[in-house]
Amino acid sequence: MTDKDTRERIVEAADQLFYQQGYEQTSFSDIADAVQISRGNFYYHFKTKDDILQAVIDTRLATLQQILTRWDEEIPQPAERILQYIDVLITNQANIKHYGCPVGTLCSELAKLRHASQVEANALFAMTRNWLSEQFTLLGHKAKANNLAMHLIGRGQGIATLANVFYDEQFLKQEVQELRDWLQSLTVTKKTKPKKRPG
Amino acid sequence: MTDKDTRERIVEAADQLFYQQGYEQTSFSDIADAVQISRGNFYYHFKTKDDILQAVIDTRLATLQQILTRWDEEIPQPAERILQYIDVLITNQANIKHYGCPVGTLCSELAKLRHASQVEANALFAMTRNWLSEQFTLLGHKAKANNLAMHLIGRGQGIATLANVFYDEQFLKQEVQELRDWLQSLTVTKKTKPKKRPG
DNA sequence: GTCTATACTGAGATAGAC
DNA sequence: GTCTATCTCAGTATAGAC
């Protein structure tokens, strides 16, 4: 077992547990047990609990960046890309019902804790917002792009929160359908308008 | 200082602190300090921390019930009642920016903790949903009343979450305006087109 | 790099004096 | 009803053996 392997396994386990139990509620012992190392060994890799949180956030940021880049490369149409984002709610519905949105619940918890890493965690939202904003711009909604991005993320947060609290899959599916309709209404309205106006 | 007074003050302080810091993060010492009693005295009134949580939830349920009943009595039109509900986001925007939605953040935390009182806390949402559902029924949307109620609550949750995480008042205000427009579109009968309010 | 042993802290909770 | 003193336990963290 090399150093890197163990460190990676710690971050992976911490990521899972922070999502499932919350950051505050997850102890070193929980993580050590999950990775099957001693608590002492733990401190060789991370000095403090905050360090692990930072590593988890960094990993999530990198993963998110990869996903968004892949969507950019593999999906040509911006509307289809946004649809892909919306459908994550369906793909992850089992986890969302159990634990809520991994980004939203972490950011909310850190906000309440007034935690120093709140800014870094918020970057997860910011990265998504910026990416969505680009897609809406490509859709021809440049002026409102950022507002539309925030609106969509907010809708997703509300859906995840209630799907979690009420453990309601039916609600989640129906709301996702409404989001699809909403996106559709934004996609078709620009049919006859020219992309750029002279002057 | 009578028994009732102290108990009430404990519940009041706990309510505040649970909202501002979260349930798990709030210690007996925090509450005792806020009420300015000793920790020992504390246990005369509540045997366990869970007991305080239960008392806080009961108080919130009673308060919510009072508010909804008052709205029923004082506001004749169901659309105006729903508008009143939406405008709570504006009235409480300062608190929401700092701490999120008091109901949503508590229910989310308890869900993650798998806490026994989760069911009671969810009753806060359920009570609101039932009341909204009644209002939408009165508006003539009986078949969809429950779905509309859930949709509205979800929208509110998303708005509160992002307003909190991003500490963004502008976003909150704009989204509330969209909710007003959404309500308006549901209110208008079969006559003329609704006039959109200037932004 | 990994382990055991242990120090230190804060939190929940109890006992008993007043 | 309120207090002080104290207990227990979990969690963070360190030291040092291997």
Mean pLDDT value across chain A: 94
pLDDT digits (tens, 9 = 90+) for A62-105: 999 999 999 999 999 999 999 999 999 999 999 999 999 999 99
For B159, which residue in chain A has the nearest alpha carbon?
Answer: A154
Place of tokens 């070193």: A28
Q: How far is A90 from chain B (nearest CA, A)?
A: 16
pLDDT digits (tens, 9 = 90+) for A179-193: 999 999 999 855 454
Average pLDDT over residues B86-95: 98
Please state the separation of Cα B150 from the chain's center in Å: 14
pLDDT digits (tens, 9 = 90+) for B186-195: 998 644 445 5
Look up residue B43 and give its DSSP letter. H
* pLDDT above 70 for B131: yes
Q: How far is A137 from chain B (nearest CA, A)?
A: 19
Average pLDDT over residues A170-186: 98
pLDDT of residue A3: 58
Closest nucleotide over all strands to B44 (CA to C1'): D1
From the CA atom positions of chain A, what is the Rg in Å?
A: 19
pLDDT of residue B199: 46
Angle, CA of A13, B18 and B57, to the nearest 5°: 110
Place of tokens 């701490």: B99
Give the pLDDT band (50/70/90) at residue B178: very high
pLDDT digits (tens, 9 = 90+) for B41-53: 989 999 999 999 9
SS (H, E, C) chain A: CCHHHHHHHHHHHHHHHHHHHCCCCCCHHHHHHHHCCCHHHHHHHCCCHHHHHHHHHHHHHHHHHHHHHHHHHHCCCHHHHHHHHHHHHHHCHHHHHHHCCHHHHHHHHHHHHCCCCHHHHHHHHHHHHHHHHHHHHHCCCCCCHHHHHHHHHHHHHHHHHHHHHCCCHHHHHHHHHHHHHHHHHHHHCCCCCCCCCCC
Query: Could you tell me if A84 lies within 8 Å of chain B, comparing CB atoms?
Result: no
Mean pLDDT value across chain B: 94
Average pLDDT over residues A137-156: 98
pLDDT digits (tens, 9 = 90+) for B26-81: 999 999 999 999 999 989 999 999 999 999 999 999 999 999 999 999 999 999 99
Please state the separation of Cα A60 from the chain's center in Å: 8
The correct CATH number of B3-186 out of 3.40.50.620, 1.10.3720.10, 3.90.380.10, 1.10.357.10 is 1.10.357.10
CA of B55 to C1' of D8 (A): 26
Tell me how far apart the alpha carbons of residues B65 and B131 are, in angstroms, rounded to a whole number: 10
Cβ separation of B162 and A156 shorter than 8 Å?
no
Average pLDDT over residues B120-141: 98
* pLDDT above 90 for B140: yes
pLDDT digits (tens, 9 = 90+) for A22-68: 999 999 999 999 999 999 998 999 999 999 999 999 999 999 999 99
Q: Are A147 and A171 in contact (CB under 8 A)?
A: no
pLDDT of residue A188: 80
* pLDDT above 60 for B118: yes
* pLDDT above 90 for B83: yes
Boundaries of every domain in chain B: 3-186
Q: Please name the residues between 31 and 70 in chain A that touch chain B, using a CB distance below 8 Å.
A: none
